[in-house]
Amino acid sequence: MKIGKGAIIGLIGGLLGLVGVFLPWVTASALGVTISVPGACLAGIGNIDVGGIPIPCSTAASGEGSIYVYGILAFSILGLIFVLLGKRVTAILALVFGLLDVILAGVAMARLASLLPAAAGASLGYGIILCIVGGILLLLGSVLAMGDAKKAMMAPAPMMAPPPMPPPP
């Protein structure tokens, strides 16, 4: 099975979406201490980095933040699996998952950006941006994978050798 350009780009996009969840979505600096909060911490997974000291996130964290985190994780995983299957229908599903990934990451970024002016010295981290870039690459890869699947369907079937002739009587 040959992996096309679309599948490779979709795979990279899905992996970026996965990795972005565990990287800082919000960073803040106050009194010489930098605090980094990964996106996974919104769902109670991982650690908050406070000046190099990891502090576990609360396992009771739930609600709106966990919807974004689990949604991005699920859509990234499903999108990269479906884009690798190499069929037109699965590439269309990967396109939908990539679009949902971009939407969820964009809404999460907008929600976080609306909360940041209240906190002095806080800014968006690179993890949420990586999730958006991953979703866009998943979208692009799935479109290219649809084209690759169409080319594979249009390719002529290999010629088969004629059946052997029976020996003369």
The C-alpha atoms of residue 44 and residue 57 are separated, in whole angstroms, by 5
Strands 24-30, 33-38: pairing kind: antiparallel
Closest listed residue to residue 78, CA positions, set 55, 58, 61, 98: 98
Residue 48 lies in a domain: no
Residue 164 lies in a domain: no
Q: Which two tokens stand for residue 60?
A: 């009771």
Listed in sequence order, the residues at least 6 apart from 72 whose beta carbon sits closer than 8 Å to its beta carbon are: 17, 20, 21, 39, 101, 104, 105, 108, 131, 135
Residue 2 lies in a domain: no
The C-alpha atoms of residue 33 and residue 120 are separated, in whole angstroms, by 13
Residue 169 lies in a domain: no
Residue 54 lies in a domain: no
Residue type at position 128: I
Sequential DSSP letters for 79-134: HHHHHHS--HHHHHHHHHHHHHHHHHHHHHHHHHHHHGGGSTTEEE-HHHHHHHHH
Residue 153 lies in a domain: no
Q: How many domains does the chain have?
A: 1
Helices and strands (H and E) in the chain: how many: 4, 5
pLDDT (tens, 9 = 90+) of the chain, 169 residues, equals 577 888 888 889 989 999 988 888 888 777 777 777 777 777 777 777 777 777 777 654 556 677 888 888 899 999 888 888 878 888 889 899 999 999 998 988 888 888 776 666 777 888 889 999 999 999 998 888 888 776 666 656 566 777 777 777 7
Task: Compute the C-alpha angle 26/31/32, nearest 5°.
Answer: 75
Query: Domain range holding 142?
Result: 13-25+63-148
The C-alpha atoms of residue 137 and residue 111 are separated, in whole angstroms, by 23
Reported pTM: 0.78
**Percentage helix, strand, coil, to 5, in the chain?**
60, 15, 25
Residue 57 lies in a domain: no
